[in-house]
Every structure is written in C-alpha cells, then in structure tokens.
Structure 1
Amino acid sequence: MPVAREVGGFDVLIVWRKVHGEWTRFFLFSTFDGDITVRSLLRAWKARWGIKVIHRLFKENLGLGRCHCRTIQAQENWVWCVVEAFDAVLRARREVPGMTWRAAQRQAAQNAEQYVLTDLEQDEPRLDAA
C-alpha cells in the first residue's frame, strides 16, 4: 500500500504469519523503489532485524553506548573492544555448554584478566640478565 507524504513517499507492506499457532500481522515500511520484489524486501528486513538485535545486545550487555570519546578513531577502538568482548563471551559459552550469559561474561573477564597479568609477568625485565 503506497503512502504519500510531504517529506516523501513510502510503501507499507502488511505481512501475516503464524506465530505460536496464531496468525499475527506486522507492518514493514519501505522506501525502496517500487520495482523491488516482496521476497527481496523481506530478505532485506530480515537482515536488518538481525543487525538491530546484535546492536542491542552490544549496547545493553557489552557497553557499546558507554563510550564518550569524540574522535572517530577512539569510537572505532571502543567498537573493536566490544566485538572482542562478545567473541570472548561466545568462546566461554562454547567451552561450557549451557552457561548463562552473565556467567560467561564473568568467565571471559577472568580469562582476560589472567591473560593480561600473565602477559605482564612474562614481559617484566629480568634482574639476572645484567
């Protein structure tokens, strides 16, 4: 169903699907060209939804939104740290199937702390080398 507005037009696609045995509807708003297929539109929506889910997970559980730095390089570094933290939590959960998200976060933090402390101990200058 096309909708015209002063700021520009868009299409509304009403999608019916069965969820838990009941038919429900949801609405997709699209600014894609009118020649796009419904299949392509649904595929784009599904990909975008996955991105939104992972972004929310990063913001709510891994501190993505807590960076107050102003430079793009600092922001990129922060995002990189969040992605690394996510990977560390996933590794902890793979090592112990059934581990809760919070327990995996704690384990990943302990692993990171142990790695940092071990690495520092190995890099300390040796007094007997002189």
Structure 2
Amino acid sequence: MLANRFGPEFAQEYTNAHEGVDTNAASAEAMDLHNNAVRRRIAAEHPDASPEELATFVKEAVLRGDMVVVGPDGMLTPSDQVALGETGRAEGPPATGGTKPPPTDTEFTSGGYNPGSDGESYGTYDS
C-alpha cells in the first residue's frame, strides 16, 4: 500500500532505512530487504488494487515461495518450504558494510497522492 500511495522509490527508501540497524541480524536484514522488494513488485503490478487485494497477492506470493523466511535451521529458505509455525529465529551478527542507503535529495513523486479519504480509491494514479 505504501508503494501504491507514495511511489516505489519512496517505499524502497522508507522500508529499507531501518533494516541496517546494528541490532538486526544479517539474515533478518536480508530476508526483510528481499521480501520488501517482492511486495513493491506486487504493488507495481497491481497499482489500483485495494488493501484487501494486495493482501491476497502477498499471501499468494508467500504460498508460491516468492518470499523468504528464516527456516528452523536459521538459514533463509523459500517461504513455501517451511510449514506455518515452523520458522526459526534470525540470529548472528548484524550485517556490516554500509547497508543503509545514502541520503538523497530526491524528490519523490507518486503520480498523485491519494490519502484514501474517499474510501474507494487506493491507487496513486488518477483514473
């Protein structure tokens, strides 16, 4: 929904910004960055989808194995290969090497902000 309302560039910078914190295990960071990218792709493929439709598309991606999870062994595993409730814990040292995106002077544009106040239109583009 973030990508559809504010644009993919803003969504990427916003969702990736907190992943590089020094308490986030490298495997958790990698999982989140990958899954964020999949969700942004889903939003781009369905710019006029409602929140409920987006949730369905994300669930389908999980069931298809497009997402990754931390498996019982602590390793990243396609989401369709780990049973519900059987995920492991991301442990280990945090990632190093500059995972935080550099600050930019980019002016984010989404094609038209829609705060959703009308209750019907969830996309960012005028119909």
TM-score of the pair, normalised by structure 2: 0.31
Rg larger for: 1
- Larger RCO (CA under 8 A, 6+ residues apart): 2
Query: As a proportion of its length, which structure holds more strand?
Result: 1
Structure showing the higher helix proportion among its residues: 1
